[in-house]
Amino acid sequence: MKRLLVPAFGLLLLGGCASLDPAPHCDMSRVAGQRDLVAGPAMVEGETSPLKEMPMNSVSITDPNIIRKLYVRSIAARRTGTGTVEVVAQVVNCTDFPLNAEARTQFYANDGAASEPVSAWRRLQLPARTSNTYRELSLGDKTVDGYMIEMREGK
């Protein structure tokens, strides 16, 4: 019985502390619930593909080290004055520790092929409980129709 009470007490204490923590608060279970892996194209007609992959126009955190630490709050894509595409992703560090992350973007044409070489990794410094903005510009203009951002821990 004692064994059961001690963790329950600890949980209560944690809850009390959490309410005093500054924003942002990341509900990682909900973050996980929002995951939307899409099925890839099936090789056999009428069958769903067993392969689930990243959807287009999204940020994918491919590094398990930071998957529960970062939250991508918003992604925007817009055309610049010259017709190229600028993607902007706002990233939140949900932890109490500073983090380094890296991100890169691959732009795609409307037929699904890469319209240009993948961009270089761009480093993001994220102090504890802060947000930062990742920004990347495409090289092409008419050819760009979609994008995909990868994110990993910066070491």
Partner 1 sequence: MITRLLAVSALALLVPLMAEAQTVGAKVPPYQAPAKAAPPARDGGEALDAAAPRPNPFKPQDDVIDRFRDAYAQGGRPRLAIWWNRQLSDTLAQWYSETRTVTADKSSNSTEGDLSLKQSGAKQSVTETQRRAGDSAERPARDETWDWEFQDGFLSPFLQADANVVDRTMITRIMGAGAEEIDPKTVEVMAMQGMADVMVEVLVADSARSTTGYELRARILDVKSGRVLAMVNSRALKEWQKTDKAAATSSGFELPDEDDESFGPERADQRYKATSSGFERKRKPPKLAVIAHNLATNVMSAMLPRLEGGAVPVAKTTDPAAPTPITPPQAAKPAPNQSAVPLPDVEAKPLPAPDKPAKVEAQNVETGPAAEEPPMPRPTKQ
Report the residue from 116, 145, 153, 154 that binds partner 1 according to the rule CB under 8 A: 145
Residues 74-113 vs partner 1: string with x where CB under 8 A? xxxxxx-xxx-x-x-x------------------------
Q: Which is nearer to partner 1, 36 or 45 (CB)?
A: 36
Locus of tokens 């890469």? 114
Q: Which is nearer to partner 1, 54 or 100 (CB)?
A: 54
Q: Which is nearer to partner 1, 31 or 122 (CB)?
A: 31
Separation of alpha carbons 55 and 37, rounded Å: 7
- Tokens for 78, please give them: 């817009």
- Tokens for 76, please give them: 């925007």
Separation of alpha carbons 114 and 32, rounded Å: 28
Q: Are strands 146-153 and 58-61 parallel, antiparallel or unpaired?
A: parallel
Check residue 7 for interaction with partner 1 (CB under 8 A): no
Report the residue from 101, 102, 134, 146 that binds partner 1 according to the rule CB under 8 A: 146
Report the residue from 6, 12, 37, 42 that binds partner 1 according to the rule CB under 8 A: 37
Check residue 133 for interaction with partner 1 (CB under 8 A): no
Q: Least distance (Å) from partner 1 to the CB of residue 116?
A: 13
Phi-psi region of 11 (alpha: psi -120 to 50; beta: other; left: phi over 0): alpha
Q: Smallest Cα–Cα separation from 119: which of 105, 134, 133, 101?
A: 105
Q: Are strands 146-153 and 99-108 parallel, antiparallel or unpaired?
A: antiparallel
Per CB under 8 A, residues contacting partner 1 are: 31-32, 34-37, 54-55, 57-62, 64, 67-68, 71-79, 81-83, 85, 87, 89, 141-142, 144-147
